[in-house]
């Protein structure tokens, strides 16, 4: 893209709206404008689920959505609610501050909570019933990631090990990513397509019955002094080319829908996608509402429980860099910075160790063994340095250790997996 053009996967209509909202709040120039942005190719948000789990809920004949997710997530029996041996319901979701699918999933949950399909207003996300609904959805999250590739790569490894039904129950991602995963290529990189076999247990897409948003890959010609008439003319010609039949065919071959939302030949039920869905399409709320929804995630997300393991062995005293700091000094600085990113009521514990250890590959049995082995250590009075918890009605504070980082204390080395 030339200077003055903005497009590609990171730049979708909600992000353009958030850009306008934040530049306006800073009294900066509006580079986007409020005109409807043309799309290059589209793909809807889906709740992707291993096929046997989705079929247990009635896919593809039954309309499913956020309400069904919330019921399973809040039931102590989990999947036992419908007589299935899959354990607790585990949702994977990306961070809405970095990820389009995470942002769209958060917006979709708010729409589902209000019962609206359009016109979400600033007063809606703060209603107590709406807050409780969205918090309930977030409570089922077992792991947040910056990108959906984190989940798909881990799920592929679990599937390779014959554990495709143990890692996660559902992940919010784009329909196109369902095709990528089912092709054995979770990264979506055309260069690696065919390098890995297809999964034993494929994913299928659930299109929320309450409605879903499209990732539309908008095409933006910036409203800036350096964008003259000649550049605008070139931009218009390029848009015509990208929306032309030949270019759209290439998007369709990668399982995108066309710029006007039509499903191509890759969008088929046998590959986990339903070409007649979604039935209800949501439009992103106005930028001020969207910004409020995004900001609310930090308050409503599942609280974190973090274990920091600090190596205090002799080798950590080695000086590195030009500042003369030791490896241990740098590790402590990094840990302190990480703690600053936590919410006031997140929990963080610190273990230090002088012993080297090697963690085995994470399997279901090793995860169980690790939990059993570590449980008494976590309750040991020697082990945790806990984050401060804000009292009701108090002013929130950043999570901080209650005492300085230990210089020489030791504790048995820990093992940690995402299980």
Both 44 and 180 in a single domain?
Answer: yes
At 131-166, the pLDDT tens digits run 999 999 998 888 788 889 999 999 999 999 999 999
Same domain membership, residue 247 and residue 356: no
Same domain, residue pair 144 and 191? yes
Q: Token digits for 5?
A: 């053009």
Asked if residue 206 lies in contact with residue 108, where contact means CB atoms within 8 angstroms, the answer is: no
Residue 414 shares a structural domain with residue 330: yes
pLDDT at 178: 98
Residue 358 confidence (pLDDT): 56
CB 275 within 8 A of CB 268: yes
Task: Give the total number of structural domains in the chain.
Answer: 2
pLDDT digits (tens, 9 = 90+) for 207-260: 999 999 999 888 988 888 899 999 999 999 999 999 999 999 999 999 999 999
Q: Which of 256, 277, 302 is the last residue of a domain?
A: 302
Predicted TM-score (pTM) of the model is 0.74
386 to 9, 276, 278, 349, 410: CA distances (angstroms): 39, 50, 45, 5, 17
C-alpha to C-alpha distance for 289 and 295, rounded to whole angstroms: 10
Give, in order, the Cα–Cα distances in Å from 313 to each of 71, 333, 336, 352: 48, 17, 19, 9
Question: Does 223 lie in the same domain as 310?
Answer: no
Structure tokens at 328: 């241990």
Q: What is the 3-state secondary structure (H, E, C) of 358-387?
A: CCCCCCHHHHHHHHHHHHHHHCCCCCCCCC
Question: Is residue 167 a contact partner of residue 256, using CB atoms and an 8 Å limit?
Answer: no
**Which CATH number characterizes residue 240's domain?**
3.40.190.10
Cα dist. 399→4, 25, 66, 102 in Å? 42, 28, 32, 24
Which pair of structure tokens corresponds to residue 358? 């090697």
The residue segments making up the domain with residue 411 are 304-419
Q: Are residues 298 and 230 in the same domain?
A: yes
Query: Residue 66 and residue 74: Cα distance in Å, rounded?
Result: 12
If asked whether residues 297 and 309 sit together in one domain, one would say no
Kindly report the three-state secondary structure assignment for every residue of 129-189.
HHHHHHHHHHHCEEEEECCHHHHHHHHHHHHHCCCCCCCCCEEEEEHHHHHHHHCCCCCCC
């Amino acid at each position: 893209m030339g200077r003055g053009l903005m497009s590609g996967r990171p730049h979708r209509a909600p992000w353009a709206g958030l850009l306008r909202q934040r530049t306006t709040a800073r009294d900066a120039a509006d580079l986007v404008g409020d005109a409807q942005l043309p799309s290059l190719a589209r793909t809807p948000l889906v709740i992707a689920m291993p096929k046997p789990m989705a079929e247990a809920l009635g896919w593809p004949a039954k309309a499913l959505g956020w309400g069904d997710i919330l019921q399973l997530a809040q039931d102590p029996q989990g999947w036992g609610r419908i007589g299935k041996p899959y354990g607790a319901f585990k949702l994977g979701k990306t961070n809405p501050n970095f990820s389009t699918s995470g942002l769209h999933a958060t917006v979709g949950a708010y729409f589902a909570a209000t019962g609206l399909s359009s016109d979400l207003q600033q007063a809606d996300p703060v209603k107590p019933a709406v807050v409780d609904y969205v918090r309930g959805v977030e409570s089922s999250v077992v792991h947040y990631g910056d990108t959906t590739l984190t989940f798909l790569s881990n799920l592929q490894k679990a599937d390779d090990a014959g554990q495709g039904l143990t890692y996660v129950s559902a992940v919010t991602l784009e329909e196109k990513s369902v095709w990528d995963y089912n092709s054995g290529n979770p990264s979506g990189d055309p260069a690696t397509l065919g390098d890995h076999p297809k999964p034993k247990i494929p994913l299928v897409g659930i299109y929320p019955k309450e409605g879903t948003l499209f990732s539309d890959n908008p095409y933006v010609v910036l409203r800036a002094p350096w964008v003259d008439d000649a550049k605008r003319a070139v931009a218009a010609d390029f848009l015509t080319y990208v929306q032309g039949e030949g270019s759209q065919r290439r998007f369709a071959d990668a399982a995108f829908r066309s710029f006007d939302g039509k499903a191509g030949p890759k969008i088929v039920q046998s590959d986990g996608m339903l070409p007649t869905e979604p039935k209800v399409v949501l439009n992103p709320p106005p930028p001020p509402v969207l910004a409020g929804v995004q900001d609310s995630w930090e308050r409503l997300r599942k609280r974190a429980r973090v274990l920091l393991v600090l190596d205090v062995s002799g080798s950590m005293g080695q000086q590195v860099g030009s500042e003369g700091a030791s490896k241990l000094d740098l590790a402590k600085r990094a840990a302190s910075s990480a703690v600053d990113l936590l919410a006031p009521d997140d929990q963080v514990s610190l273990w230090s160790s002088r012993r080297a250890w090697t963690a085995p590959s994470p399997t279901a049995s090793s995860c169980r063994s690790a939990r059993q082995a570590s449980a008494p250590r976590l309750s040991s009075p020697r082990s945790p340095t806990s984050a401060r918890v804000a009292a009701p009605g108090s002013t929130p504070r950043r999570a901080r250790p209650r005492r300085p980082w230990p210089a020489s204390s030791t504790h048995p080395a820990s093992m940690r997996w995402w299980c």
